[in-house]
Amino acid sequence: MSVLAVVGTPGDRRVTMFADACARYGVREPAVVPWTSVLRGEEIRLEPGTLVRIDSPGEDAEADGLLRGPGEPSRVGGGARWHAAFTAGTARVREAVDRTPGAVLLADVGEIAVMFDKRLCHARLSTAGVPVPPALPGPIGGYAELRRRMDEARWGRVFVKPAHGSSASGVIALHSRGGRVKAVTSADLVSGRLYNSLRVRSYENESDLAAIVDLLAVDGLHVERWFPKASLDGHVIDLRVVVVDGTPTHAVVRVGRSPMTNLHLGGSRGDLGEVRAELGPEGWARALDVCARAAACFPGSLAVGVDLMIGVDWRSLAVAEVNAFGDLLPRLEGLPGSGAEGVDTYGAQVRAILARHAPAEIGNARGEGAIVAGGPVGRGEEEGASPSVSVSPYQGYVYAYPHKTSYRPLDPRPSLREVWAREPHTNLFLYLHIPFCEMRCGFCNLFTRTGAPEELVAAYLDALEHQARAVRDALDDPGFVTAAIGGGTPTYLSAAELTRMFDLTERIMGADLRAVPLSVETSPATATTDRLAVLAERGTTRISIGVQSFIDAEARAAVRPQRREEVEAALGAIREVGFEALNIDLIYGIDGQTETSWRYSLDAALAWKPEEIYLYPLYVRPLTGLGRRAHDWDDHRLALYRQGRDHLLAAGYEQVSMRMFRLPGSVGVAEYRCQSDGMVGLGCGARSYTSRLHYSYEYAVGAGQVRAIIDDYVRLAPEEFDVANVGFRLGEDERRRRHLIQSLLQAEGLDLTSYRERFGVEVMAGFREELERLAERGWLEGDALAAEEAAGAGWLRLTPEGLAHSDAIGPALFSGRVRELMAGYEER
């Protein structure tokens, strides 16, 4: 883990609370880069590899003076100067990060600047279709102009907001009726100057009001039509929802006696349960979705606070503002199902940072990606290290080569017809990607989003239909020999939606799914009888279910809250429907997991006699227990791996790869030769493979960006599906490398004869050095190298220990070019 630094005010609550959250997760206390020194233009020095968080200057008087110029801190105004100085400061931080090797800015300074300009923020939200109250077009030079514009728009009630800054400072709720005006504001007019007051006051004297508006107009105004807000027990309410990494994790109800509900103005926290009950489950889901969509307008920001207004009808919703530093909500725990249960807003952010910057992660979907941290393992961490030098066995799950982080925009974008022109159109693998899940598992960094509303699912299926048509046209008459539907969780779709998905695959793609092995992923909560019936009826032969652990507490620790009864019921339903093959995914390395509890989960899985079992190492390190020290955690995982492997082998399973175990003679499982067969991916998270080009849509890690990519995908015009967008072109060397990696990481190994037949050279010709290093470590079977040299025949195979180190061997075989591209990938 890199070091963290926070640009903030030393001793400020935001800084100390974030540092406390870091300590809870075992992360070194972040260094503080004082805002005052940034604003004075002093040199910003960062350690290489620092992850830099930008926080608010808080209420520091000195920083305030540097931002707004000299004057009393309690005065209102100076917003334009504040914004200019603040933006210049964040730009300096950006420059410092850019010139520090390996440093990463955990924020987007351009987005912060937009959030601190209510006019720009409103325009951005409105363009993205996020509900916002209508606004008067600017600029508005003063009170006279404001009144004239209100009359033209026939608006009797408006909110007048200073263009810059956050919170209620200077905001006026203005009501004009029959020639009379009344305003409510926290601004206090004293001797021709404006001051912030903690008390909300009313003005009915028009000349006072005009003076206030004229003073505020100097720094720019943003005027929105009044949005009548819902109330509870006679008090107006709205919500502050914190969205961390794209997921709404925390919500607080703000209650006020005036239209201003801000907590520092005497507003108080209300009862969220009551608000949820009034909204109903569907209304609550819509409210969270609006917040997530608002946050998705700022995909480079790790966390934002969305102020959501609920209308008096308890149906209409509108975003009042998006706050770059809206996360200061002490003692507030995460929403159930958000993945942030039991942690505050800062804890959720630290966890998101750890998840993004942990070395790698697990993945359970075949056609879409988990980030893989490659590294020049070679002889170990050091050049010339002896075989006894230990290398972490867990560097990255390489289930596809090259990883999507090495894909780049294709310019010009080739047509699919061109891409597939010289490729075989038979023996293809069809992969459909459904990027939706009912909740976000704590260990997941896959391309998926939670809480997708029905309309989005429908729009996604529309887009799949357009894409299927484009692919079918480009490939003329593709022949599929196997198919899979992954995610996400494909069974997030209802039975009717699944039916539509199968219809479009068969009707438009022309894929006869009943004639080929078809695998579908599911989850305990969504493996319902009606959905399973559709899957069976449409030819599904293999069902894969992510259980992870049969112990509820372990499932919770992995942030996949589920109950054992639910898991057993799902497995029972799957067996009852009667698919040819069942796969169960389990995870080892969970906080608190022991050899006994691991054995318990293995046996609970074996009780269902699944045709396949996948054992995944956990990749997001728990920072308690054995996870506190990376080395101990590696040893622990390796021990659990060996235990799991031996247990399954003793139960009659054969090992197919480090993760996969299969009952001999199983039918219904897909036999896809990914080394040489082509793959057609449908969906914005799926990739497609030809022999010379791997391509897909944009790739992202952060949930906010994932949402944005899905939203873009569903809005694509039908003709936009005729081209490949981002990708990686494989030359001869990369094709050989891919063949080597994909074969060697299987227990069966690499067939030397077929390698020579395919490429016309011996594998040693290109990879002697790498293979010798593996042999030195005892990771290649006995005399495989010698035999290969002598006869160029037989199989190149990993030893059991080599297989156990697959996640170190895979990344070690990456080419320099792929490593460079992966390292240069800007994480989103």
Residue numbers of the site for ligand SF4 (CB under 6 A)? 364, 437, 440-441, 444, 446, 448, 487-489, 523, 546
Q: Residue 339 Cβ, how far from ligand SF4 at the closest point, in Å?
A: 9
Q: CB under 8 Å to 711, separation ≥6 — which residues?
A: 128, 293, 296
Q: CB under 8 Å to 240, separation ≥6 — which residues?
A: 251, 252, 254, 305, 306, 307, 308, 326, 329
Which of 513, 526, 516 is closest to 487 using CA atoms?
526
Query: Can you give the length of the chain in residues?
Result: 828
Q: CB under 8 Å to 515, separation ≥6 — which residues?
A: 539
Q: Residue 488 Cβ, how far from ligand SF4 at the closest point, in Å?
A: 5
Dig out the tokens for 391 from the structure: 């290398």
Dig out the tokens for 29 from the structure: 């206390």
Which of 774, 819, 814, 818 is closest to 797 using CA atoms?
774
Q: What's the CA gap between 472 and 475, in Å, rounded?
A: 5
Q: Which residue's CB is nearer to ligand SF4, number 176 or number 491? A: 491
Q: Which residue's CB is nearer to ligand SF4, number 357 or number 440? A: 440
Q: Which residue's CB is nearer to ligand SF4, number 437 or number 669? A: 437
Dig out the tokens for 528 from the structure: 């319902």
Q: Which residue is nearest to ligand SF4 (CB)?
A: 444
Q: Which residue's CB is nearer to ligand SF4, number 363 or number 810? A: 363
Q: Which residue's CB is nearer to ligand SF4, number 437 or number 532? A: 437
User: What is the sign of the dihedral through the CA atoms of 147, 150, 156 and 159?
Assistant: negative
Q: Residue 423 Cβ, how far from ligand SF4 at the closest point, in Å?
A: 30
Dig out the tokens for 420 from the structure: 């597939």
Q: Which ranges of 181-252 would DSSP assign to H, the alpha helix?
A: 206-217
Which of 432, 372, 425 is closest to 398 using CA atoms?
372
530 bridge partner residues: none
Q: Residue 614 Cβ, how far from ligand SF4 at the closest point, in Å?
A: 12
Q: What's the CA gap between 612 and 229, in Å, rounded?
A: 54
Q: CA 137: distance to chain centroid?
A: 35
- For residue 657, the 8-state DSSP code is B
One-letter identity of residue 715: R
Q: What's the CA gap between 283 and 336, in Å, rounded?
A: 16
Q: Residue 585 Cβ, how far from ligand SF4 at the closest point, in Å?
A: 9
Dig out the tokens for 729 from the structure: 């072109």
One-letter identity of residue 375: G
Q: Which residue's CB is nearer to ligand SF4, number 8 or number 610? A: 610
Q: Which residue's CB is nearer to ligand SF4, number 678 or number 704? A: 704
Q: Residue 420 Cβ, how far from ligand SF4 at the closest point, in Å?
A: 29
Q: What's the CA gap between 41 and 93, in Å, rounded?
A: 10
Judge whether 551 and 514 are in contact, CB under 8 Å.
no
Q: Residue 178 Cβ, how far from ligand SF4 at the closest point, in Å?
A: 56
Q: Which residue's CB is nearer to ligand SF4, number 433 or number 472? A: 433
Q: Which residue's CB is nearer to ligand SF4, number 353 or number 446? A: 446
Q: Which residue's CB is nearer to ligand SF4, number 364 or number 549? A: 364
Judge whether 764 and 751 are in contact, CB under 8 Å.
no
Q: Which residue's CB is nearer to ligand SF4, number 440 or number 777? A: 440
Q: CB under 8 Å to 253, separation ≥6 — which residues?
A: 237, 238, 239, 269, 270, 271, 272, 274, 275
Report which secondary-structure segment, H or E, holds 428: strand 428-434
Q: Residue 444 Cβ, how far from ligand SF4 at the closest point, in Å?
A: 3
Q: Residue 445 Cβ, how far from ligand SF4 at the closest point, in Å?
A: 8
Q: What's the CA gap between 55 and 32, in Å, rounded?
A: 10
- Residues 647-660 as b/e (b if ≥16 CB within 10 A, e otherwise) read bbeeeebebebbbb
Q: Residue 696 Cβ, how far from ligand SF4 at the closest point, in Å?
A: 17
Q: Residue 96 Cβ, how far from ligand SF4 at the closest point, in Å?
A: 35
Q: What's the CA gap between 116 and 627, in Å, rounded?
A: 40
Q: Residue 534 Cβ, how far from ligand SF4 at the closest point, in Å?
A: 19
Question: Which backbone phi and psi does 375 adopt, to 5 degrees?
Answer: -160, 150
Question: Which backbone phi and psi does 415 adopt, to 5 degrees?
Answer: -75, 150
Q: Residue 487 Cβ, how far from ligand SF4 at the closest point, in Å?
A: 6
Q: Which residue's CB is nearer to ligand SF4, number 437 or number 571? A: 437
Q: What's the CA gap between 11 and 33, in Å, rounded?
A: 12
Q: Which residue's CB is nearer to ligand SF4, number 546 or number 810? A: 546
Q: CA 143: distance to chain centroid?
A: 45
Question: Which backbone phi and psi does 106 adopt, to 5 degrees?
Answer: -85, 35
Q: Residue 351 Cβ, how far from ligand SF4 at the closest point, in Å?
A: 14
Q: Which residue's CB is nearer to ligand SF4, number 437 or number 570? A: 437
Q: Which residue's CB is nearer to ligand SF4, number 508 or number 551? A: 551
Q: Residue 464 Cβ, how far from ligand SF4 at the closest point, in Å?
A: 18
Q: What's the CA gap between 599 and 459, in Å, rounded?
A: 44
Report which secondary-structure segment, H or E, holds 704: helix 703-715
Q: Residue 641 Cβ, how far from ligand SF4 at the closest point, in Å?
A: 19
Q: Which residue's CB is nearer to ligand SF4, number 308 or number 362? A: 362
Q: Which residue's CB is nearer to ligand SF4, number 546 or number 749? A: 546
One-letter identity of residue 390: S
Q: Residue 701 Cβ, how far from ligand SF4 at the closest point, in Å?
A: 12
Q: How far is CA 191 from CA 211, 535, 702, in A?
A: 11, 74, 50
- How crowded is residue 634: how many other Cβ atoms within 10 Å of its Cβ? 19
Four-point Cα dihedral 759, 763, 769, 771, nearest 10: 130
Looking from the CA of 683 toward its CB, the CA atoms found within 13 Å total: 28
Q: Which residue's CB is nearer to ligand SF4, number 2 or number 494? A: 494
Q: Residue 134 Cβ, how far from ligand SF4 at the closest point, in Å?
A: 37
